[in-house]
């Protein structure tokens, strides 16, 4: 029984000693870093000059059956190619979070969702009404843009 008491006493004393060591003073701060030795200012060193190269000769683009990437796409003189406002069909109008949306379908069956300001083919969406969509269509160079309105087609 006496051995148990002394063991408890030693355990309690060790625990108190452990706690006493935890709340001591903080360790001393590290010493400040040493400053690098002062050097005498030296004259700036000049960088070696790069050798001058002769200009490259101009290269010509070889078409080889491809479209010239340096020509403007708007320079076509044969009329509009691809998607045009006249070729799309108005399928539906829905109310979205940001306003009305127009659902249009191309002749090959692709559908597009348009909102005011979107571009499609040769036109730009001006406004979307309850049963129609108004576009401004750019014509040939020198022509004024015209207004085109698409309405639901009755089957």
Full set of structural domains in the chain with CATH: 82-151 (2.30.30.830)
Secondary structure of residue 3 in the 3-state scheme = helix
At 24, is the pLDDT very low, low, confident or very high (cuts 50, 70, 90)? Answer: low
> Which pTM does this prediction carry?
0.47
pLDDT, mean of residues 119-131: 91
Higher pLDDT, 27 or 126: 126
For the chain, how big is the Rg over CA atoms in Å? Answer: 41
The CA-CA-CA angle for residues 17, 23, 24, to 5°, reads: 90
CA 34 remoteness from chain centre: 47
pLDDT tops 60 at residue 145: yes
Report pLDDT for 78: 47
């Amino acid at each position: 029984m006496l051995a148990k008491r002394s063991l408890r006493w030693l355990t309690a004393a060790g625990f108190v000693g452990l706690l006493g060591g935890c709340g001591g003073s903080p360790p001393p701060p590290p010493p400040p870093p040493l400053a690098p030795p002062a050097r005498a200012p030296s004259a700036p060193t000049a960088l070696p000059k790069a050798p001058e190269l002769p200009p490259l000769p101009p290269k010509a683009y070889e078409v080889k059956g491809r479209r010239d990437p340096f020509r403007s796409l708007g320079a076509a003189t044969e009329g509009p190619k691809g998607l045009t406002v006249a070729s799309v069909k108005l399928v539906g109008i829905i109310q979205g979070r940001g306003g009305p949306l127009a659902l249009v379908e191309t002749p090959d069956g692709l559908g597009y969702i348009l909102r005011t300001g979107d571009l499609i083919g040769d036109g730009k969406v001006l406004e979307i009404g309850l049963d129609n969509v108004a576009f401004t269509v750019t014509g040939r160079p020198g022509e004024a843009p015209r207004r085109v309105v698409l309405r639901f087609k009755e089957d």
